[in-house]
């Protein structure tokens, strides 16, 4: 376990809201190039933990290291500069801007034009804008958006908006992508496409992905490693197979005394996966 | 079915844009308006025709050089001629220019960045008092009783420092904008509105009360006289040489000052328009809009929201600062009276009426409000006054016009008229006269790598799963 392979490491992260401890002493580390999931029942503190990583919240205690450097407590714009990008649980696009503009906003940190370049319309400005626009179009194509560059982001259907959000995040050239329930509200076919896209982002662009997900089918099939949170604490971590059969996970999801449940259902699914892997 | 009004307008617009029609229409209306104003200098319809014709140069489709040629013809030749014949028009257009710049500045703060500002006139006051102080005798009167000046007190600076002070006005107002911005960054929405409102009043009260212990502002009496830049007789003579036959009489140096200030105001406005357009279409402008749309998401995209908000405040303030300097010089007198809360609301009205966030819209707002203020309402007052003096009466109810109450003078209920207009606008056209649209770009078609069946589900209008789109941000727990 050398430093370099662990792209993100959190130790003893605590986030409180008044008397409520939303994230309690979470230790966590993930390797580069993995697809890692955090699951847990509603209110388990997954999104809070996410927001702590991406800088929207400052943790009260603990350290978060990204590529070996501490990032806890940095404001979100500084975190983006370090090449971490995110999407939101309830899509937060800039609805009054076009799809292309949304993606260009995502590229904000990667543009170097100054106010003077802007006012004087220097060659540097024009070249950079042209480059950024071209890149944005490539990203739109990459996530599977076609002919919608000039549409208002709010006019796109749900699945399209999710894709714009991912393209916008990719525009900031991340090495770590945080996806907060990216398939929520999607039908099975759309989830399937989304998972395909996530795998491509990891395989082709070499981006490490950390996602929060509710859909067990998605989680079990896409993740290489899973952390389970409940009541603000990490209660388990392991491969999908280990998680599916972990008694404390089953208890967290179904309550004390439950047997079988997701364990039974998902174990069958995981078995199927294992067979696929083997073949 | 009968064609709707919108369809009829569409047909009309198509006709106007066909072939060479735009050039003929624009040129024709400008010249017709010019001739009518020339012949009957007091006619408002003629003036509106002239202004309307000139604006066609923007709204109809024509080549860029033609647009520029029309603009130059109107701004540099026709308006000065009309203005020299009737100073009143020059005053109207000067005010339109001043308020356009103010509205464009406020639009950066309110329209682009979505930061409500009720104290915008404070920045205008900063510019005005900057030149008001240094361009008058005030620096030598610091220990005098307000309102008194020993005879023979010299002016502090030579009049031509005025030109430098336009730039200083930009810088100083921008700095004041930053200073206001710093505490304001902590608050949002309604709270921001209250703070800016308070800021505007604080500045006005400072101007009112800074006549003690050192007489900096001369208190409520205001500063006067303020110098104008020097005007050499040669320039006036040159103007007369060319334009005297058209104006009909030689223009005096005093009258020429109005033309000079008008030209400076137009130059500043053009500068402001170019900067605004360029900022809007850049990383900075996109970041402003992103902050307006969703500040949290914007900062998650790496946008330093506080820095950009400060920038918006500074840029918006700087436009007002430059115009403030111009205002002080053109009036030669300034007092805190000019920078009231209502004056700030007036500029805000222009922005909202014209189209919040829309550059042409905001200018249209400034034109409409200024003409309404200076011309339409005043002329209705004049007309009522004439009726009052006549023996005319309304027959059936036997109402004699001379009994008409003075209270019905439109200039007395200007605010009511604005109130009604704003309410109607908010109901029927909330985005303004010329609403802001997003810039459409020429896009090359980069082929998607994903299968076609996927694409069909995300094409706009495909209803596949749009019902599930989360509504609003209220229920958002990030």
DSSP string, B102-154: HHHHHIIIIIIS----S-THHHHHHHHHHHHHHTSSGGG-TTSPTT---TTPP
Distances (CA, A) of A99 to A144, A146, B144, B440: 13, 11, 63, 11
Does the structure show a pLDDT above 80 at B461?
no
Per-residue pLDDT, averaged over B195-204, amounts to 93
Distances (CA, A) of A7 to A26, A237, A245, B261: 16, 17, 27, 63
Per-residue pLDDT, averaged over B4-24, amounts to 82
**A214 exposed, middle or buried (CB, 10 Å; 0-12, 13-18, 19+)?**
middle
Cross-chain CB nearest to B286 (options A104, A144, A145): A104
Q: Token pair 């056209």 is at which residue?
A: B429
pLDDT digits (tens, 9 = 90+) for A227-259: 999 989 999 999 999 998 888 888 887 665 544
Residue pair A152/B438 in contact (Cβ under 8 Å)? The answer is yes
What is the model's pLDDT at position B463? 38
Out of A196-210, B277-291, B362-376, pick the least confident.
Answer: B362-376
Does the structure show a pLDDT above 50 at B452?
no
Does the structure show a pLDDT above 60 at A74?
yes
Residues carrying CATH 3.40.50.300, chain A: 3-83+174-278
Q: How many CB atoms lie within 10 A of CB B234?
A: 8
Residue pair B172/B321 in contact (Cβ under 8 Å)? The answer is yes
What is the model's pLDDT at position B444? 59
Any chain A CB within 8 A of the CB of B304?
A: yes
Does the structure show a pLDDT above 50 at B473?
no
All residues at 6 or more sequence positions from B52 whose CB lies less than 8 Å from its CB, including other chains: B29, B33
A211: left (phi over 0), alpha (psi -120 to 50) or beta: beta
Tokens of A131: 């480059």
The proportion of chain A whose per-residue pLDDT surpasses 70, expressed as a percent, equals 89
Residue pair A79/A21 in contact (Cβ under 8 Å)? The answer is no
Any chain A CB within 8 A of the CB of B284?
A: yes
Edge-to-edge strand ranges of the sheet holding A6-17: A20-31, A6-17, A61-66, A69-70
DSSP summary character for residue B155? P
Does the structure show a pLDDT above 80 at B193?
yes
User: Does the beta-carbon distance from B297 to A88 stay under 8 Å?
Assistant: yes
Q: Token pair 């992508």 is at which residue?
A: A177
What is the model's pLDDT at position A276? 54
Per-residue pLDDT, averaged over B82-89, amounts to 85
Cross-chain CB nearest to A157 (options B305, B450, B464): B464
User: Considering chain B, what is the average pLDDT of its residues?
Assistant: 85
Does the structure show a pLDDT above 50 at B469?
no
- By three-state DSSP, how is residue B431 classified? coil
Which range of A161-175, B175-189, B364-378 scores highest in mean pLDDT? It is A161-175
What is the model's pLDDT at position B451? 39
Residue pair A93/A154 in contact (Cβ under 8 Å)? The answer is yes
Out of A32-46, A172-186, B376-390, pick the least confident.
Answer: B376-390
* Nearest chain A Cα distance for residue B330, angstroms: 28
B154: left (phi over 0), alpha (psi -120 to 50) or beta: beta
How far apart CA A229 and CA A241 sit, in angstroms, is 17
- Among A residues 84-123, those touching chain B with beta carbons less than 8 Å apart: 86, 88-98, 100-101, 104-106, 108-109, 111, 113, 115, 118-119, 121
Any chain B CB within 8 A of the CB of A141?
A: yes
Within 8 A of A185 by CB-CB distance, chain B residues are 465, 468-470
- Among A residues 185-214, those touching chain B with beta carbons less than 8 Å apart: 185-187, 189-190, 193, 197
Greatest C-alpha distance within chain A: 70
Q: How confident is the model at residue B446 (pLDDT cuts 50, 70, 90)?
A: low
How far apart CA B2 and CA B86 sit, in angstroms, is 46
Q: For residues B276 and B144, which has the higher predicted lDDT (pLDDT)?
A: B276
Per-residue pLDDT, averaged over A27-47, amounts to 90
Per-residue pLDDT, averaged over B293-299, amounts to 93
Cα B302 from chain centroid (whole Å)? 33
Per-residue pLDDT, averaged over B372-392, amounts to 79
Within 8 A of B474 by CB-CB distance, chain A residues are none
The proportion of chain B whose per-residue pLDDT surpasses 90, expressed as a percent, equals 44
The proportion of chain B whose per-residue pLDDT surpasses 70, expressed as a percent, equals 92
User: Considering chain A, what is the average pLDDT of its residues?
Assistant: 88
Per-residue pLDDT, averaged over B130-155, amounts to 89
Within 8 A of A204 by CB-CB distance, chain B residues are none
What is the model's pLDDT at position B393? 78
**At B477, phi and psi to the nearest 5?**
-115, 50
Any chain A CB within 8 A of the CB of B278?
A: yes
Reported for A203-207, long-range contacts at CB under 8 A and 24+ positions apart, including other chains, are A205/A170, A206/A33, A206/A175, A207/A170, A207/A174, A207/A175, A207/A176, A207/A177
Residue pair B110/B148 in contact (Cβ under 8 Å)? The answer is no
What is the model's pLDDT at position B323? 96
Does the structure show a pLDDT above 80 at A272?
no
User: Does the beta-carbon distance from B300 to A86 stay under 8 Å?
Assistant: yes
Exposure b/e, A155-169, CB count within 10 A at least 16 = b: ebbbbbbbbbbbbbb
What is the model's pLDDT at position B146? 84
- CATH assignment, A3-83+174-278: 3.40.50.300
Look up the ipTM and state it. Answer: 0.89
How far apart CA B133 and CA B165 sit, in angstroms, is 11
The proportion of chain A whose per-residue pLDDT surpasses 90, expressed as a percent, equals 70
Does the structure show a pLDDT above 90 at B470?
no
How far apart CA A110 and CA A116 sit, in angstroms, is 17
Distances (CA, A) of A25 to A11, A35, A225, B331, B369: 7, 23, 20, 68, 61
Per-residue pLDDT, averaged over B352-381, amounts to 88
Does the structure show a pLDDT above 60 at A278?
no
Per-residue pLDDT, averaged over B65-84, amounts to 88
Q: How confident is the model at residue B314 (pLDDT cuts 50, 70, 90)?
A: very high
What is the model's pLDDT at position B210? 92
How far apart CA B191 and CA B212 sit, in angstroms, is 32
Q: Which residues pair with A31 in a beta bridge?
A: A6
How far apart CA A23 and CA A56 sit, in angstroms, is 14
B332: left (phi over 0), alpha (psi -120 to 50) or beta: left
User: Does the beta-carbon distance from B290 to A148 stay under 8 Å?
Assistant: no
What is the model's pLDDT at position A249? 86
Helix (H), strand (E), coil (C) string for A68-89 = CEECCCCCHHHHHHCCEEECCC
pLDDT digits (tens, 9 = 90+) for B232-291: 888 899 888 888 888 888 888 888 899 999 999 999 999 999 999 999 999 999 999 999
Q: Where are the domains of chain B?
A: 1-85, 89-355
How far apart CA B89 and CA B266 sit, in angstroms, is 14
- What pTM did the predictor assign? 0.87
Out of B101-115, B328-342, B443-457, pick the least confident.
Answer: B443-457
* Nearest chain B Cα distance for residue A234, angstroms: 20
All residues at 6 or more sequence positions from B258 whose CB lies less than 8 Å from its CB, including other chains: B83, B87, B90, B91, B94
Tokens of B86: 């009737």
Residue pair A230/A31 in contact (Cβ under 8 Å)? The answer is no
pLDDT digits (tens, 9 = 90+) for A142-190: 999 988 999 999 999 988 999 999 999 999 999 999 999 998 888 888 8
* Nearest chain A Cα distance for residue B180, angstroms: 21
Does the structure show a pLDDT above 50 at B448?
no
pLDDT digits (tens, 9 = 90+) for A9-20: 999 999 999 888
**Mutating which of A47, A76, A193 best tests the B interface, going by the most B Cβ atoms within 10 A?**
A76
Q: How confident is the model at residue A87 (pLDDT cuts 50, 70, 90)?
A: very high
């Amino acid at each position: 376990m050398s430093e370099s392979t662990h792209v993100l490491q959190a130790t003893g992260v605590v986030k409180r809201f008044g008397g409520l401890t939303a994230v309690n002493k979470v230790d966590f580390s993930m390797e580069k190039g993995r697809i890692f999931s955090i699951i847990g029942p509603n209110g388990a503190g997954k999104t809070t933990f996410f927001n702590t990583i991406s800088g929207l919240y400052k943790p009260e205690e603990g350290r978060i290291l990204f590529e070996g450097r501490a990032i806890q407590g940095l404001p979100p714009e500084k975190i983006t500069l370090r090449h971490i990008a995110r999407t939101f649980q309830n899509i937060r696009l800039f609805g009054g801007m076009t799809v292309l503009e949304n993606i260009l906003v995502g590229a904000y940190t990667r543009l170097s034009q100054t106010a003077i370049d802007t006012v004087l319309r220097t060659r540097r400005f024009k070249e950079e804008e042209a480059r950024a626009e071209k890149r944005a179009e490539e990203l739109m194509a990459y996530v599977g958006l076609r002919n919608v560059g000039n549409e208002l982001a709010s006019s796109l259907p749900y699945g399209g908006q999710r894709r714009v959000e991912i393209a916008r995040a990719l525009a900031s050239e991340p090495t770590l992508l945080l996806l907060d329930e990216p398939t929520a509200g999607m039908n099975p076919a759309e989830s399937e496409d989304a998972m395909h896209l996530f795998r491509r982002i990891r395989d082709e662009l070499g981006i490490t992905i950390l996602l929060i997900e509710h859909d067990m089918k998605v989680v079990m099939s896409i993740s290489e490693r899973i952390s389970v949170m409940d009541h603000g604490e990490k209660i388990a971590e392991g491969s999908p197979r280990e998680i599916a059969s972990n008694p404390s996970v089953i208890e967290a999801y179904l309550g004390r005394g439950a047997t079988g449940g997701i364990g039974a259902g998902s174990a069958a699914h995981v078995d199927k996966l294992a067979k696929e892997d083997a073949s | 079915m009968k064609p709707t009004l919108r369809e009829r307008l569409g047909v009309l617009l198509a006709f106007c844009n066909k072939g060479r029609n735009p050039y003929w229409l624009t040129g024709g209306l400008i010249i017709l308006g010019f001739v009518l104003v020339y012949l009957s200098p007091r006619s408002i319809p003629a003036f509106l025709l002239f202004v309307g014709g000139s604006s066609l140069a923007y709204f109809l489709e024509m080549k860029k050089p033609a647009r520029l040629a029309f603009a130059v013809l109107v701004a540099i030749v026709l308006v000065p001629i009309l203005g020299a014949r009737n100073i009143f028009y020059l005053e109207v257009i000067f005010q339109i220019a001043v308020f356009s710049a103010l509205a464009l500045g406020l639009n950066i703060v309110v329209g682009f960045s979505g930061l409500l500002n009720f104290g915008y006139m404070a920045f205008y006051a900063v510019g005005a008092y900057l030149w008001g102080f240094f361009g008058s005798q005030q620096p030598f009167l610091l220990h005098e009783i307000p309102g008194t000046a020993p005879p023979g007190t010299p002016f502090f600076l030579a009049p031509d420092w005025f030109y430098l002070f336009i730039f200083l006005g930009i810088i100083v107002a921008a700095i004041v904008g930053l200073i206001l911005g710093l505490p304001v960054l902590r608050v949002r929405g309604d709270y921001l509105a209250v703070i800016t409102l308070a800021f505007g009043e604080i500045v006005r009260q400072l101007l009112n009360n800074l006549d003690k212990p050192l007489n900096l502002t001369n208190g409520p009496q205001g500063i006067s006289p303020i110098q104008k830049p020097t005007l050499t007789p040669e320039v006036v003579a040159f103007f007369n040489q060319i334009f005297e036959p058209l104006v009909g009489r030689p223009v005096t140096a005093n009258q020429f000052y109005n033309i000079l200030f008008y030209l400076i105001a137009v130059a500043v406005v053009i500068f402001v328009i170019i900067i605004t357009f360029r900022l809007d279409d850049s990383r900075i402008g996109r970041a402003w809009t992103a902050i307006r749309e969703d500040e949290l998401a914007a900062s998650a995209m790496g946008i330093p929201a506080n820095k950009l908000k400060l920038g918006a405040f500074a840029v918006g303030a700087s436009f007002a600062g430059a115009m403030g300097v111009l205002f002080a010089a053109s009036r030669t007198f300034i007092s805190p009276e000019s920078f009231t809360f209502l004056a700030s609301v007036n500029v805000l009205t222009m922005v909202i009426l014209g189209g919040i966030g829309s550059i042409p819209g905001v200018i249209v707002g400034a034109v409409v409000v200024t003409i309404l203020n200076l011309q339409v309402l005043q002329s209705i007052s004049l007309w009522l006054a004439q009726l009052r003096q006549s023996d005319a009466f309304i027959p059936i109810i036997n109402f004699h016009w001379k009994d008409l109450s003075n209270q019905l003078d439109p200039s007395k209920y200007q605010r009511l008229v604005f109130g009604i207009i704003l309410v109607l606008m908010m109901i029927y056209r909330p985005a303004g006269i010329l609403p802001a649209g997003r810039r459409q770009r020429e896009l090359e078609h980069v082929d998607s790598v994903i299968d076609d069946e996927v694409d069909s589900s995300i094409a706009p209008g495909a209803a596949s799963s749009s019902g599930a789109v989360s509504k609003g941000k209220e229920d958002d727990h990030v």
